Amino acid sequence: MQQHEPAEEYWRLSDGVGNWVFAGVCLLIAVVLGRLILRERLTLQGSMSYLAFLMVLGAMAVFPDATGWVAHKLGFFTLANFFFCTAIAALSILHLRALVTLSRVHLRSIALTQELAIVQEKLDRVIDARSSEKAS
């Protein structure tokens, strides 16, 4: 005779307000992010992936039953493991995006420094040519 495992129970909306509080925190962070974008302290392009990450976490908090179903279908036994796996994956993607941006800024600063050195050399030549013309 086979033993049947009990059906796995996921969080329900009636279990408490913790998921709504977390969703509210995600919404508050999104509002602050939007304000920083509007004040041009952050670029829209760099913030879109972070905003998407907040939306996913907020949706996971607001719809825990659906999140639990997805987690179970993906092979996670507990909802917390799925949540942390999702958060770590999203943070890894955000970190990779930041590294790409930093690399671009670094390469651009090198190019600008080289261009500035070339312009400075040309300016020095023009100044030297004019001073030698005035001396003659």
In the structure encoding, which two tokens stand for residue 40, read together?
């041009």
| pTM, two decimal places | 0.64
- Residue 58: per-residue pLDDT: 85
- Residue 16: per-residue pLDDT: 55
DSSP 8-class letter at 1: -
In the structure encoding, which two tokens stand for residue 112, read together?
């600008």
Q: Is 16 left (phi over 0), alpha (psi -120 to 50) or beta?
A: left
Please give the residue that has the higher pLDDT: either 115 or 81.
115
CA 125 to chain centre: 47
Read off the pLDDT of residues 15-69 as tens digits, 9 standing for 90 and up.
555 677 877 888 898 899 888 888 888 777 778 888 888 888 888 888 888 888 8
As a dihedral over the C-alpha atoms of residue 63, residue 65, residue 68, residue 73, rounded to 10 degrees, the angle is -110
Please give the residue that has the higher pLDDT: either 52 or 109.
109
